[in-house]
Amino acid sequence: MGKILDEKHKQILLEGARNNQLILAVPCPGNCKFCYEKSLNKTFRNVVTEVIPKYTKESFDFLLQHLSDKLSLLSPSSGFVFARQKIRQRGGADFFHLGLTKEQIIKVMELNKKRYVRGQMYIYTTGFKVDPFFVKELSEKYAQFVEICLSAVTFNEKIKRELMTNYGKNEVLKRIIKHVRKLTVVLFHFNKEQTLLDLREINHLKPRGADVIIVKLYYSKFDELLVKKYAEKSYMDVKETVLFIYKNRNLFENINRIFLTPDSKIYAWTFQHKLRDILSKYDFRNNEFMFCSEGAYSELRKILKGKKVRVIPIKSPCGGSIDDAATITTNEIISKIKELKLQNIKISKLYLPSSMYWIHDISYRDTDIYDLRGKTKGEIKRLFPNIVLEMIALGDLGEGPLDLEDCYKYYLYEHN
Ligand code: SF4
């Protein structure tokens, strides 16, 4: 007689089945000290890390039995949802550490093969205790829809020992990079020397069409000193590193594309034309304000120079080097409005970036979108009914990594 599933677990599985999601068992085995998920619930008390049991025969069969018949791929799902009055955080997790057997993983793939119409199934792994040849088999047999993303972080074992609990051994990472087709390798930028060594290592392996994403380290006020130390070092020479890689791209000719996740100010600069188009449709008047992230502030001021609207940067409550709009919440907006009102400053209209509200309700039927405190813009309207609130629709502008060339152009512009 198999293990009885408890009600809470059944609810999570049913939620996954409804949305064709293989909800990931968390926490992620990497347990990286620099993982932004680690400190998020220290800043945002309403964020709870949802502990989801690993799949068993019973829970896996239960999920498949209740799978919606929608023709979309059954895909790993992580991220954030609003449910039961909380922001439920479902970590990055590792597809090969969900408790699924190889047979069960093949069952998911075969099901997706039958269902395939369009879309991709992104499989994230740290390479920790992973069979590289099984990964190769999946990437070839299900090439139509499978994309493997390897969070390699670095080949420097000393750094990995310092910052991660579990990580892919270098020989496993190298086998995956050498053999798996259409792979995305995620490296973290610790310093110029290490990033160049890591890129050379990948280039030397002659990967089969691999892209590399270089992630610049951030830290929040709650991160430990070690992470802060690495993040500040990462910040210091990221420009030099980008300029070197771009000018010596031939040294990495076996790497398909190189991307970077830079500061939000580089995103704002790179997308300035799109931002200008979006903002050109507004007829700004007196007593109108635009609140934005610290990262986007200098670019928005330039774009809106001479316009009547006042641009005001809002500091992310995460502190540290975090300066994006996704961590600004309703609370920070309300505090700033109160601060301006105390100075007898009249606010008739307030513009906010749509990227502040990005978390959907679990049912996806609820049209409200929440911030990291589980609040909606409705709260601002309720407290300040005389202020007209306008969300600036940014869509997915600034989401995802930037092409190396975009970052190179920014640093060139910054240089002149
Ligand atoms: S591998 Fe990624 S998701 Fe997992 S703990 Fe590390 S940074 Fe977080």
CA of 35 from ligand 1 middle (Å) equals 5
What's the pTM value of the predicted model, to 2 decimals?
0.90
Residue 77: CB within 6 Å of ligand 1? no
pLDDT computed for residue 69 by the predictor: 65
How far is Cα of residue 404 from the mean position of the Cα atoms in its chain?
Answer: 18
pLDDT computed for residue 372 by the predictor: 94
pLDDT computed for residue 23 by the predictor: 80
CA of 36 from ligand 1 middle (Å) equals 8
Q: What separation in angstroms does the CA of 70 have from each of 12, 45, 81, 114?
A: 18, 35, 21, 12
pLDDT computed for residue 319 by the predictor: 92
Within the chain, all domains assigned CATH 3.40.50 are found at 272-392
Handedness of CA 415, 321, 83, 145 (dihedral sign): positive
* Largest pairwise CA distance in the chain: 73
pLDDT computed for residue 70 by the predictor: 63
Determine the residue of 32, 36, 186 to mutate for testing ligand 1's pocket, defined as the one with the most ligand atoms within 8 A of the Cβ atom. Answer: 32
Residue 92: CB within 6 Å of ligand 1? yes
Residue 327: CB within 6 Å of ligand 1? no
pLDDT computed for residue 118 by the predictor: 79
Strand partners, 41: none
Residues 253-279: pLDDT tens digits? 999 999 999 888 899 999 998 999 999
CA of 31 from ligand 1 middle (Å) equals 6
Give the residue ranges of the chain where pLDDT is below 50: 1
Within the chain, all domains assigned CATH 3.30.750 are found at 120-263
Q: CATH code for 120-263?
A: 3.30.750
Which DSSP category does 96 fall into? G
pLDDT computed for residue 397 by the predictor: 81
Which residue has a Cα nearest atom 3 of ligand 1? 92
For the domain made up of 272-392, give the CATH fold. Answer: Rossmann fold (3.40.50)
CA of 386 from ligand 1 middle (Å) equals 44
Relative to beta strand 146-153, strand 121-125 is: parallel
CA of 167 from ligand 1 middle (Å) equals 10
Token output for 7: 């009600």
